[in-house]
Amino acid sequence: MLTILSESKCFGGMQKICSHLSTETKCKMRFAVFIPSQAAVAPVPVVYWLSGLSCTEENFIIKAGAQRVAAELGMVIVAPDTSPRGLNIKGESDIENVGLGAGFYVDATEAPWSQGYRMYSYVAKELPALIGTHFPVDIKRTAIMGHSMGGHGALMIALKNSDYFRSVSAFAPICALSRCPWGEKALTYYLGADQRKWQNYDVAALIHKHIWRGSELLITQGSRDPFLDTQLKPALLQAACEQAGVALRLDWQEGYDHGYFFIASFIEEHLRFHARNLNEIR
């Protein structure tokens, strides 16, 4: 059952926060959804936003300033939480960058995380089915985007589900999850020590395994991002795309860092990118 926790009029549309009991995560999940006024007339395109480490469903809707552009373009934006909350796994709030707020959009196979840390299946399957049932979206025109950990999630989920997600973009994404400290730590907890399993969630590795059927990949990256060389590693994805013949647009933005001022500066460009791509699909 879907529960509306709050709703506020916003640029002629409605910003809602909702919850439901998830079969994938075995707990209540929250998500934010912006519904433009155009949705009252006919189904509209939908864009999923995946947030980064430590975020909830609220960070994006409060800080990014996306609703004004989404209202103009007539796009629904869905922003889920970044992990299950309420499983009460021992230590899930004590390990830095693992557990609460750090689901990394993978399906955990190692105990105790396997009992509900299934953010890949939640975002790729369960949530879109729920949105398609309860909100006026055109599921043939679906895009996904995200930031940092969520940028990794958006690119990875799009590559694995290109028949559904037809457009993808990311802000400062983790481009090779199995080859950075954040990913190595999280994947060890969630998937175990067998690094062959890690490749199933590494974007730079997946480029060679999945045929991307959508438009070019769009990545926006700040030049003064403190995580650029140690965690994000866009050069690895750029090289993989060149080898695989996948079109990648990597936009470098001089002087920008990793935070939401960076996201707010370029969110309009990303939404218009998705609008162009999705409006070509009817």
Mind listing the pLDDT tens digit for each residue in 103-128?
A: 999 999 999 999 999 999 999 999 99
Given a cut of 70, is residue 98 above it in pLDDT? Answer: yes
Counting Cα atoms < 13 Å in the Cβ hemisphere of 43 gives 16
- Structure pTM? 0.98
How many Å is the maximal CA-CA distance in the chain?
51
Measured from the Cβ of residue 236, the count of other Cβ atoms closer than 10 Å reads: 18
Q: What is the mean pLDDT of the segment spanning 5-24?
A: 98
Given a cut of 90, is residue 136 above it in pLDDT? Answer: yes
Among this protein's residues, is 22 annotated catalytic? Answer: no
Handedness of CA 183, 188, 192, 194 (dihedral sign): positive
Q: What is the mean pLDDT of the segment spanning 172-178?
A: 98
Tell me what the pLDDT averaged over the chain comes to. Answer: 97
- Percent of the chain exceeding pLDDT 90 equals 96
Among this protein's residues, is 19 annotated catalytic? Answer: no
Buried b (16+ CB within 10 A) or exposed e, 190-228: bbeeeeebbebbbbbbbbeeeebebbbbbbbbbeebebb
Given a cut of 90, is residue 141 above it in pLDDT? Answer: yes
Handedness of CA 221, 222, 226, 230 (dihedral sign): positive
Question: Per the residue annotation, which of 22, 83, 148, 178 is the catalytic one?
Answer: 148
Q: Convert the pLDDT of each residue in 208-257 to its tens digit.
A: 998 898 889 999 999 999 999 999 999 999 999 999 999 999 999 999 99
What is the set of domains in the chain, with CATH numbers? 2-279 (3.40.50.1820)
Question: Per the residue annotation, which of 83, 107, 225, 270 is the catalytic one?
Answer: 225
Given a cut of 50, is residue 282 above it in pLDDT? Answer: no
Counting Cα atoms < 13 Å in the Cβ hemisphere of 241 gives 20
Measured from the Cβ of residue 47, the count of other Cβ atoms closer than 10 Å reads: 29
What pLDDT is stored for residue 211 in this prediction? 85
Question: Per the residue annotation, which of 51, 178, 215, 258 is the catalytic one?
Answer: 258
Among this protein's residues, is 94 annotated catalytic? Answer: no
What pLDDT is stored for residue 210 in this prediction? 87
What pLDDT is stored for residue 281 in this prediction? 55
Cα-based torsion angle of the residue sequence 217, 66, 153, 209 in order, rounded to the nearest 10 degrees: -20
Query: Out of 35-39, 98-102, 112-116, 277-281, which region has the weakest mean confidence (pLDDT)?
Result: 277-281
What pLDDT is stored for residue 215 in this prediction? 84
Determine how β-strand 13-21 pairs with β-strand 28-35. Answer: antiparallel
Phi, psi of 238 (to 5 degrees): -60, -45
Q: Which of 72, 67, 4 is nearest to 38 (CA)?
A: 72
Measured from the Cβ of residue 96, the count of other Cβ atoms closer than 10 Å reads: 10
